[in-house]
Chains A and B, each alone.
Chain A
């Protein structure tokens, strides 16, 4: 019995059986999509079908007017561009800084390491309400209010600490033997970082990238205070602009939310094959 089991299976990983996978996926998809479906259906409803009693799923008169308003009659396209620029730049900058810092924390033992690690997390721990006024003063003094750079820098506070923290744990998971082999071969620390550590932790890098991008993409309160000019405003502010004092154009908000959400999900769909990484069977042999 034993012999047949491992001779037939040693070449591929066993997993859950098909029905379990199927069931699991159904549940996962339902849980994740249920509100999203409600949102997307709302985005094609006319105003008087949005808040009916009893509520109804499917619109009687589906319309694309909300999308038309969002894409052609609002400032959303411009805000989309701003959000892309700011999020990409903030993510890039955070990644660069985090890769180096995580390497330092994961691979070296130096005095006060725990202290510095805790210091990095400090930024994430301060309540927004406490830091927003002094940050505003800082930006004003530096002349960075209403600029891309102002927001990009401020976003370091919400992306860098977590990125360093997460990358440190991904780097730690890579076996030491690989690096020691490279040192014996005469590689430098930086060389090891770029040629061994990074490629092997690619899923972790992608995960951190996703995290940083999504966080800056959806950030509201800093953008609200530090970007008051349409040329720099981001998408979350654009969403808020569909609400006037006593009214919220829900159809437009839902349509704009779709515009904000779907591209990210599609982007992830394209990039998620980079998620499959790690050590291939041959790497540790020899």
Chain B
């Protein structure tokens, strides 16, 4: 600790250069934190998707399928539960507050998604109440909703059958997701209500959710479902939830590779920046380093002082940068497939590791130069 003033003084010697270098490091590690946050959120979303649940889409992208498919899918051996889906997007109270109601056969849906926990009485109430919805507890807390509240939504899609766009839902239950409480942000309603009231696409489903008796049979059941409709005008494409999400993400590109490539390029550039700063700093201070040796600092003590300087610069910048990312991301409230983005502890540890590595790689050459400094020659050159 007693050497800290010496290290700090060295960094303050050229304040502008130190500040600019620090800002570059902070910015780079902020980017590192944000991108890793995205990456982790995607991985979490993918891992949360069950390989034991199937989703059935039309092979004609975006085309709804007849709801009658549900009964035929239910008859496929190995299928435990199936539901059609109808989505309703609408604004609540203000145009920017968009809410989506996922209409389904709720009894089937909660069998397919067992990690969503809802009290049996509340589920029964939803099944008995045409306009009943079950709301995620996190969303209810955010909006100040409670059981018994009526929520009006102004529909964003085509008008209802009666020509209006005003929908009304009654909250009859709240659901929890014990493993990810912050992800309980959806609204589940009755397919029948949305289907009967909507002005178009009646008796269709944009997708079917399928639960399996045996998760290991997923591939075989998916094939059987697609074979069912192979000769119909509405052919299907059945995948596990996880495969489905991964295929969507693959359309964006290999995100993991992209993130690592960007972060790698940024850190590589940073390496030269810090190396240049440290080399300049040591070059300018050769007489001062010689004085330290003159008063009794050993070669290795001077070497460690220079390395400590690089470490302080790099590590502090890295921690501030990734710390800012850790603060900003939750505030921004960004989500990937219901997975709230955050910077996990592992990313902080990785940033610290990267900061130390940067400091060592960029700091070792000037530190060695300082170590090898011949006192008499350095003083004579002054």
A binds B: no
Q: Which residues of A contact B (CB under 8 A)?
A: none
Q: Which residues of B contact A (CB under 8 A)?
A: none
